[in-house]
Structures are given as C-alpha cells and as structure tokens.
A = this chain, B = another copy of it.
Amino acid sequence: MLEPSAETYASVVGLRTVRRFRPEPLSPDDRDAILEAGRWTGSSKNRQSWTVIVITERAQIERLAECGDFTKPLLGAATVLVPVRLPDGYDWDLGRMSQNMMLAAAARGVGSCPITFHREDCAREVLGVPDDHGCRFALAMGYPDESAELAGRSSFSMGGRKSLESLVRNDRF
C-alpha cells in the first residue's frame, strides 16, 4: 500500500479539463511518463486488453477531428492519445487507464481534454483499427495556454456537479 497523501487526494478531486494548448510538442519525458501511468493501470484479470495510439501527425489529427461532434480541442493538441480496446476488453478499463493518464499529465504540468468519437467507424478507418476493436474515445493533450483557457471558459466548462445527495443511493437503486 502507498502512504496516505492529502496532496494526491487534492489532485484527484481537482483535475479539470484543459481545452486550449500551447503549440509546442510534449517533451519525450512527459510523453513517456504519461504513457507509463497508462501502462501501470489495473485491468480486469490484468488482461491489459488495450493499445494506445500516440498521434502527432497533423493530418491524422485533422482527419480524426471529423469523427466526433465536439472535437475542437483536438486541433490545438500537441499530442492525441487514443486508447484502443482489444476484442476481450472493457471500455470501463479504458476509462480507468484514461483517467490515470490525465492525472499523470496534470501532475507533470500537461493539460488534457477527453474527446468522444460519435462516429467510431470514422476513427477506426483513420487509424486502421480492426472492426472488432473499440476506439470511441481520445485524449487531447498539450501544455496549457493559460490565458486562452481563462478567457475561453464558458459556463459549460466551469460546470458544477450534482450534489452528493442526488448522486448516492444506499444498498439498492
């Protein structure tokens, strides 16, 4: 077991999406540290039924941006990560891995924004992912453009959350 950590707790609760990035690429150290956090994520029966596609080619990123309805953060991203679900995997495990990579990114000063490919077949074609694999989600990543981020915050991106009372039920639905 790890030692308890108030700093980690604050980081987990405090993670927020970053949608506007500076143009420079991720440093190789930051990129690898983020991927390491994905690599070490737990998965059902430790099957690790996943692959991560690391995308920096602008043409690939622009094509991917056509595959979802709210993909603007992709276009400014330094790097796009696409976790691919292998045939015996679960999207739930991919979500766990993605959260780890976003938290690790923030811990290294890298911002991230989750993206949904509403047209998964489109993403599959762009990336050459087989039909029996899943690639419905991506993470746009880059060093935060803090001033653009602050200026661009909408009521949506500042969105609150349901109360604990409305989130939680006891013992049964």
In whole angstroms, how far apart are the Cα atoms of A37 and B168 in the complex? 13
Q: A4-B109, A46-B156, A51-B167 are in contact. Are A12 and B100 (CB under 8 A)?
A: yes
Q: Which of B1, B15, B137 contacts A111 (CB 8 A)?
A: B1
Chain A, interface size category, equals: 35 or more
Q: How many copies does the complex hold?
A: 2
**Shortest distance from the beta carbon of A123 to any chain B beta carbon, whole Å:** 10
CB interface residues, A 50-86, toward B, < 8 Å: 50-57, 60, 70, 84
B11 touches A5 (CB 8 A): yes
Judge whether A5 and B162 touch: CB under 8 Å: no
Instruction: List the B residue with the shortest CB-CB distance to A7.
Output: B7
| Neighbouring B residues of A90 by C-beta, 8 Å | 91, 95, 116, 136-137
A36 partner residues in chain B, CB cutoff 8 A: 13, 164
Q: Mark A98-114, 1 if CB is under 8 A from B, else 0.
A: 11100110111101001
